[in-house]
Amino acid sequence: MARLTGRKAFVTGGASGIGLATVTRFLAEGADVIMLDRDTESLERESARLDARFDSNCHGVEVDVADIDSVAAGVEKARAMLGRVDILVNSAGVNVFGDPLSLAESDWRRCLAINLEGAWHMIQAVLPDMLERSYGHIVNIASVHGHKIIPGAFPYPVAKHGLIGLTRSLGIEYADRGIRVNSISPGLIRTPAAETWLAQCDEQERQRQVELLPCKRLGEAEEVANTALFLASDEARFINATDILIDGGRSQVYHS
């Protein structure tokens, strides 16, 4: 039997990158999945493609996680499609890097609104139903930036540290009521955003980024999705309020 047979899952940022890889993996394991994303074109294309590929149901719902009203409307629509939600994966995110003293207030708000508050908005929307059934798995996609600081990356690490804190706090708060909350902290993963950034670097810098990784290669979105699958399944039922690093070991190495 597939590992998520009969489960109902919501995945934010589901139309690309780690979110899309997670949707694909969940469908392959028998879950019915709602892809939530604000990119309507990608959402329609990918949800139609995946729905035709798998026996499990796949639907796309437009949601801007930074807008609490959009989240409420999107979750209501998604719940009407699937009837309930067993699993929530918060994968929606955006890179915001800048100088602390010259950073625009709008960029600060955008970073926190999408990378931290968006996850909280989604959790607020689905948690009551999970608590009513005493069952629910929540997986937040954090970042290695939530563990180690890279100069020039402010304020992204602020949001990701907060997301890991949110994960731990809620995981403990609801541990005795059938809810598990965990997070994953990816390092340099081959996603559209990472590919765009690397394309802007010269060949020497691209090679340096690979050499910084002990395994001498970038991670793949599917490798993060595999961990999300494990955490979202009942196989991980004694794992709670925990963050798992997926960075090829880079954060454990002292770099000169």
Assess whether pLDDT exceeds 60 at residue 43: yes
| pLDDT value of position 44 | 96
Query: Could you give the CA distance from residue 71 to residue 129 in angstroms, rounded to a whole number?
Result: 15
Q: Tell me the pLDDT band of 254, cut-offs 50, 70 and 90.
A: confident
Mean residue pLDDT of the chain comes to 96
The pLDDT tens digits of the residues spanning 26-39 come to 999 999 999 999 99
- The percent of residues above 90 in pLDDT, for the chain, comes to 96
End-to-end Cα separation, the chain, in angstroms:
49
Q: Which of 135, 156, 174, 254 is catalytic?
A: 156
Q: Tell me the pLDDT band of 113, cut-offs 50, 70 and 90.
A: very high
Known active-site residue 254: no
Query: Could you give the CA distance from residue 8 to residue 5 in angstroms, rounded to a whole number?
Result: 9
| pLDDT value of position 255 | 72
Query: Could you give the CA distance from residue 45 to residue 172 in angstroms, rounded to a whole number?
Result: 38
The better pLDDT of the pair 87, 150 is held by 87
CATH T-level assignment (fold) for domain 8-189+220-247: Rossmann fold (3.40.50)
Average pLDDT over residues 88-103: 97
**Would you kindly state where each structural domain of the chain is located, as residue ranges?**
8-189+220-247
- Spell out the residues 6+ positions from residue 68 whose beta carbon is closer than 8 angstroms to its own: 121
Query: Could you give the CA distance from residue 145 to residue 99 in angstroms, rounded to a whole number?
Result: 16
| pLDDT value of position 256 | 52
Contact 248, 213 (CB under 8 A): yes
The pLDDT tens digits of the residues spanning 153-212 come to 999 999 999 999 999 999 999 999 999 999 999 999 999 989 999 999 999 999 999 999
The pLDDT tens digits of the residues spanning 144-158 come to 999 999 999 999 999
